[in-house]
Structure 1
Amino acid sequence: MADDVFGIVGTTQGAFKVERVVAEGGFGVVYRAYHEAFRAPVALKCLKVPGTLPEQLRAQFLDKFREEAELLFRLSAAIPAVVRPLHHDVISTAGGVFVPFIALEWLEGSTLASHIAARAAERRPPLSPIEVIRLLTPVARALEAAHRFPGPSGPTCVVHRDLKPANIFLAQTHGAEVVKILDFGIARARDAATVMAGQTATTSGGLSTAFTPAYGAPEQWAPKRFGKTGPWTDVWGLAVTAVEALAGREIIAGDHVAMMGTVLDEKRRPTPRSEGVLVPDALEGAFRRALAVDPRDRFRDLGAFWDEVEQALGLPQSAPPIALPGRGPAPRGARRPSASPAAPRSTRALDLPGAGLTLPASFADEATRELDLPERGGRLPAHSLPTEPVVPLALDWSPPAPPPFARPSYAPSRMPPPMMARAPARPSLSAADLMAMFALPVRLAGAAVVITLLDLGAASLLFDGERIGVGPLRLLHLAVGLVVLGIGIAVFRLFASDR
């Protein structure tokens, strides 16, 4: 069980009576608490801020923390798949520890990572391609909306940067199973806090780890080579998450050096087929592009990636939960598809969608803008290469708008059986075509019947049972030959019509 590192279990912090520790991560501790005003359980995510953070920088951190918490509240209000924050504040412990926290809605359920592990432990097959895509569609469309979230001064780009099965929660809400995204912006909060404190989180091998290594994109491993993170980073994270659900196991494993080698190896892409999952060519192609090493070869827009995925499986095209520039309004009354896997139900606190932070102005303007990647073949300008993979939430980035069209609504329906490939449709034939096709075979069969009757009648009436023929050949032999010929012609014409 996780430790109560802040020593607040059993205490009351404002309106929250802290009951127990639920989980602990590298940047925070999740507590279950009781909201005495609402008379309901909540999840408290308490952030581990470096103790070396000076008082002045603490104030700057809190200002950014408040701003991004407000943006996150607006994001969750517009996008149902984003877990909802309820309150944010700071706890001052008896030992004087500085503990910023966010209170979140409490949900019952389990993470996608737990669901995958449970299926493997029970020796059940992994989820089928259609099951995985339908389950992750709310996540994909929520991210598409977050990347171009409407704001007072134009679209705002909100990038998750740590998408993985552990940050996708399969929750039970009012008797229905819904999908929630956890930890929106927590990576940026961690980056900002450590940079403000003049620290860099490193692994035992000396590599920077401002992300989860098994799901880190190439630009997170090598920012000086590939540039800053952006929407293309979430394309990578969602693709790796989907492949892991298809394979039923972690697909990028080993120590940090081995994982980095796998991620940056252009000859080995962790696509479904490379992990032993049979999928249609079009679906494999979409994942190969989504998992390209160079971000310039990857989908720049997550919506475009998911459009190709749905088209490859023949699924109805889903829509983002809000109207986006160039995408048309969200269909009126359209419901977001939700996953319904038979996941083991356990009581879990939702992990925090933390506040994504920008660096203060003193940390250079170049570090607070998204990188506009040049076309393939060009080199990144030296002045635009970031020294830290820190990305703000609010930025003036707007991807190129695709050709306008009205996006049809997506309504979840009864899930069809797994589909690996779509067989081409056979051409339809009219009654006239069938009559023309089988006219000759029918005539030959009719002639054979007439010959057989003549042979039998002549043999019994005229020749005392002697069959008509020339030498060893009999009329009956001719009748059989006509039948065989008719059958052959019919089969040939039938197969020729399918081509």
Structure 2
Amino acid sequence: MSQNPDRSDPLNIAGSLIADKYRIDHAVGEGGFSVVYRAEHVIWKQPVAVKCFTLLGGAPAEQREQLLQAFIQEGKLMTELSSRSAAIVQARDIGTFNAPDGQWLPYMVLEWLDGRPLDRVLFDETGEGAPPRDLRATMALLESAAIALDLVHSRNIAHRDIKPANLFVIGQPRDASTFVKVLDFGIAKVMADHAAAATALAQTGKDITAFTPSYGAPEQFSRTHGATGPWTDVFAMALIMIEVMLGGAPALQGDDYLQLAVASRDPSRRPTPRTLGLTVSDEVEAVFAKALAVAPADRFPTMGRFWSALHRAVFPEDPAWALSAGGGSLAPPSGAPSPRASAPRLPSSPRISLQAQTAPTMAAPSTAPGPPPALTSQPVAVAGSSAAGDAAAPRSKGPLFFGGVALALAAGGAITWSLLRGAAPAEEASRSAPVATASATAAAPAASATAAAAALPERRTECPAGMVLVPGGKFFMGSDEPEFKLWQPAHKVTIDTFCIDVHEVTAGDYKACSDKGECKRPPAAPDFPNTSGAPAAAHQKTLTALAEQCTFGKPELAKHPINCLPWSLANAYCEVHGKRLPTEAEWEYAARGSDGRKFPWGDKPGDQTFMNACGTECTAWEKARGLTPSERMYEADDGFPGTAPVGSFPNGRTRFGADDVVGNVWEWTADWFETYKDEEQVNPKGAPAGDRKAIRGGAYNGGFALWLNPAFRYHQLATASAPGIGFRCAARL
């Protein structure tokens, strides 16, 4: 790459030595929240990219440590992902420095990439008069990115800002050796999650979104469509593929945010290939129609599902491109056609291997915004996550919006300590992502009717010991009361008969399972997100104090509910015992039945004799450990500053005979969290995937009367563990 000494230096740091090893050369891109510099690692004598996050330069001193820790986590995520796929940019270091004007700046060191972002490639090709690519050539170009995204989706991580500027093309775009890398995993998460970002955004005067509207899925414009997740990336990739086939013309048409929102969500005109004038087969049009469906549940749940369906549509003569029934890898036989074979590619190009199953692990949050004007109009070698993240957009394709701040939903003004402690997550609709991903498994090949019938277990007519029968019926799930948006709207649901545990699973029961080698030991201390904005040291102090209330392995707490365990361990326990976690609908129906009662026990509010919630005992325990006191549910002492032995509050028993559905611990459910739809449903389940699981019932530290309503619902990261979250199991008859 040729050097350009006249390139601008927005931060006036060219020639500086950062961290005693990165000598800053020149800026290669500047965007709404960062400036990217080419630098040299003075020890290894190799080029690197240094991305300086100017949006956070004005962060208050007391928030800087928290911001740095957030960047460390995102850098760790990017490093882990890039170690699994060469098609994900590598993060190599992270730190902070003070610019010459005194501005405090966090930075991330990334691998240096010689090439151009896809939006620049399309712009240059248009100027050169190159013909648009057909579908096979488009698939060949984007194949490596699709594989990388499916790898990420298999771990329930979503990018949420897939766009041409975040797809970096290495090599000649139409050459056999071209390779595309995905940039900017996790960057906008930090921007969206911290008040410092909100303050800086307000100073910019720009509209606030956590995605690029030109590639936004309906759920990104409005949470009424559901949660974001891997399916959001599928929507964006489908738009990008159409844009490539159109020679650079965007698939979503609109001059401003509102017009793009309408175009993304208009059910009467989906931006499919045929709608935009491209000639494709019926099968290909159907695949794109599914990928671009308005409702997330109607889309392919992962990139692997989308890519596999495209292969089947483009190569119908080759069934080997289909994913295996168990969601295994896609490995065509020798000589099978591939998009690389149809484009000007080397015959030895690697075949796709897409892992279709997903796992309930932490999701990567929303990433960065759209690209601002470039520092130069000439093609340049751009560092990983530089031009693609937020720099060098060569042409206008509708409005661009920078930064991102998740909207918080407040219940009655504030929900503080109990959320901070992990009894419930931060109230943010944007990360229900769902969030969050349920396994996207394909249906196994059908066996013969005789074999299937022979394999069916004998149908039970009564519940196993320790469970109560919940006869099937209808009820209105949720609530229309205006105090809390997440339980709206009330909608009719039909539930089949099922069984549910009388009690929350106890620490003693879980230890017995662990002692047999059937269940994994839970963490010794809680681990949940710092959503309060408290300094890192204060959050660690809270986690240390709350470890006292984790119940596993403490004989005196054997009859207390097991807690401090992530969703995966709760789910595994139920499966070991031939059960499963209840769906949200089952949990709520078991708690209230069909008669519309406001509380599990009836319509009259309860007191400290009905539940284990936060009373004076809770305040005393917190003050003794130097913690900020929680809101109190009642001005009385219920006898338990932490969890209580299960069944200690018979006044709170449900009509079906289940204890402690309100208070003691929140309970994991089977469902990935999503907002409700105003439609009648039968045995509904949550989102098909996500990063947050729905939790129900409130905990010992609950201080808000809203939590006593069985309709009340929250969500928490599936990977989180907290003393305020446990579970009970359910089973079908």
TM range (shorter): 0.5 to 0.7
Q: Which residue of 1 aligns with 2:39?
A: 33
Say if 2:56 and 2:196, in contact at 8 Å, map to a contact too. Answer: no
Shift of 1:250: 1.9
Q: Which has the higher contact order (CA 8 A, sep 6+)?
A: 1
CA RMSD of aligned residues (A): 4.2
1:40-439, aligned counterparts within 5 Å? 40-149=46-155, 157-172=156-171, 176-194=177-195, 197=198, 208-223=208-223, 225-248=224-247, 249-252=249-252, 253-314=254-315, 326-328=326-328, 346-351=380-385, 362=420, 364-367=425-428, 369-371=432-434, 382-383=485-486
Deviation at 1:193, TM superposition (A): 3.5
CA distance in 1, matches of 2:24, 2:56: 23
Alpha carbons of 1:29 and 1:194: their partners in 2 closer, same or farther (altered >3 Å)? farther
SS at match of 1:104: strand
Query: How big is the shift at 1:266?
Result: 1.2
Q: 2: distance between equivalents of 1:41 and 1:227?
A: 43
Residue 502 of structure 2 corresponds to which residue in structure 1?
none
Partners of 1:340 and 1:108 lie apart in 2 by 21
Q: 1:161 Cα deviation (Å)?
A: 0.8
Quick check: 1:109–1:347 contact (8 Å CA) kept in 2?
A: yes
Separation (CA, whole Å) in 2 of partners of 1:201 and 1:280: 47
**Cα shift readout 1:96-130 (whole Å, capped 9, x = no counterpart):** 31211111111211122122122222222200110
What TM-score comes out, normalization by structure 2 length?
A: 0.46
Deviation at 1:365, TM superposition (A): 3.4
Structure 2 CA distance, aligned partners of 1:254 and 1:201? 23
> 2:161 & 2:121 partners in 1: Cα distance?
19
Asked whether 1:23 is paired with 2:29, we answer: yes
Q: Structure 2: how far apart are the matches of 1:91 and 1:319?
A: 50
DSSP-derived class of the 2:115 partner: strand
1:197–1:120 Cα change, 3 Å: closer
| Structure 1 residue identity aligned to 2:433 | E
Residues 287 and 340 from structure 1, CA distance in 2 versus in 1: closer, same or farther, beyond 3 angstroms?
Answer: same
- Could you give the per-residue CA deviations for residues 296-345 of structure 1, whole angstroms, max 9, x where no partner exists? 2222222111111111110866799xxx995336879x9x987869xx97
The alpha-carbon deviation at position 348 of structure 1 amounts to 2.3
For 2:194 and 2:325, locate their aligned partners in 1 and report how far apart those are by CA, in whole Å.
33
Is this contact kept in 1: 2:139–2:339, CA < 8 A? no
| Structure 2 counterpart of 1:413 | none
Amino acid at match of 1:231: P
Q: Residues of 1 paired with 2:239 and 2:189: CA distance?
A: 20
Q: From the superposition, tell whether residues 20 and 214 of structure 1 become closer, same or farther in structure 2 (CA, over 3 Å).
A: same
Paired letter, 1:6:
L
Asked if structure 1 preserves the Cα contact closer than 8 Å seen for 2:235 and 2:292, the reply is yes
Q: 1:172 to 1:119 in 2, by over 3 A?
A: closer
Cα distance change on mapping 1:108 and 1:281 into 2, 3 Å: same
* Mapped contact 2:219–2:226 kept (Cα < 8 A): yes
* Structure 2: distance between partners of 1:66 and 1:184: 13
Deviation at 1:373, TM superposition (A): 10
Q: Is the 8 A contact 1:91 1:99 kept in 2?
A: yes
1:11 paired with 2:16, answer yes
Native 8 Å contact 2:74 2:187 kept in 1: no
The offset of 1:46, in angstroms, is 1.1
Gaps of 5+ in 2: 1-5, 346-377, 390-403, 409-415, 439-475, 480-484, 489-528, 532-565, 569-670, 673-686, 690-733
- SS of the counterpart of 1:274? coil
Assess, with a 3 A threshold, how the Cα gap between structure 1 residues 110 and 196 changes in structure 2: closer, same or farther: closer
Give the counterpart letter for 1:281 in structure 2.
D
Q: Note the alpha carbon deviations across 1:204-254, whole angstroms, 9 max, x for none.
A: 8x853221121111111112x123321111011111111100111122242
Code of the residue aligned with 2:256 in structure 1: it is D
Q: Say which SS state the counterpart of residue 310 (structure 1) adopts.
A: helix
1:172 and 1:137 map into 2 onto residues whose CA distance is: 15
Contact 1:296 1:373 in 2 (8 A): no
Q: 2:382 is aligned with what amino acid?
A: R
TM-score by length of 1: 0.65
User: Judging changes above 3 Å, is the alpha-carbon distance between structure 1 residues 101 and 202 closer, same or farther for their aligned structure 2 residues?
Assistant: closer
SS at match of 1:87: strand
Secondary structure (helix, strand or coil) at the match of 1:259 reads helix
Letter in 2 for 1:268: R
Larger helix proportion, structure 1 or 2? 1
Q: 1:115 to 1:380 in 2, by over 3 A?
A: farther
Q: Specify the code of the residue in structure 2 equivalent to 1:31.
A: Y
After TM superposition, give the deviation of residue 88 of structure 1 in Å. Answer: 1.2
Q: Indicate conservation of the 8 Å contact 1:57/1:196, yes or no.
A: no
Kindly state the Cα deviation for residue 34 of structure 1 after the two structures are TM-superposed.
Answer: 0.9
* Counterpart-to-counterpart distance in 2, 1:148 and 1:227: 20
Is the 1:69–1:88 Cα contact (8 Å) retained in structure 2? yes
Q: Secondary structure at the match of 1:115?
A: helix
User: Which residue matches 1:492?
Assistant: none
1:66 offset after TM fit, Å? 0.8
Aligned pair in 2 of structure 1 residues 384, 170: CA closer, same or farther (>3 Å)?
farther
| Offset, 1:147 | 1.6
SS at match of 2:233: helix
Question: How far apart are residue 179 of structure 1 and its match?
Answer: 1.2
Q: Secondary structure at the match of 2:131?
A: coil
Query: Does the CA-based 8 Å contact 2:55-2:197 persist in structure 1?
Result: no
Runs of 5+ unmatched residues, structure 1:
150-156, 402-499
Structure 2 matches for 1:473-484, cutoff 5 A? Answer: none
Retained in 2: the 8 A contact 1:369–1:395? Answer: no
CA distance in 1, matches of 2:61, 2:325: 42
Whole-Å Cα distance in 2 between the matches of residues 52 and 395 of structure 1?
37
**C-alpha contact 1:92 1:99 (8 A) present in aligned 2:** yes
Identity %: 33
Count of matched residue positions in the alignment of Structure 1 and Structure 2:
376
Change in CA separation of 1:3 and 1:255 when aligned onto 2, cut-off 3 Å: farther
Q: Given the superposition, is the C-alpha separation of residues 120 and 329 from structure 1 closer, same or farther in structure 2, using an over 3 Å criterion?
A: closer
Query: Secondary structure of the equivalent of 2:106?
Result: strand
> What is the identity, as a one-letter code, of the residue corresponding to 2:426?
D
Opposite residue 9 of structure 1, the aligned amino acid is: A
C-alpha deviation, 1:177, in angstroms: 2.5
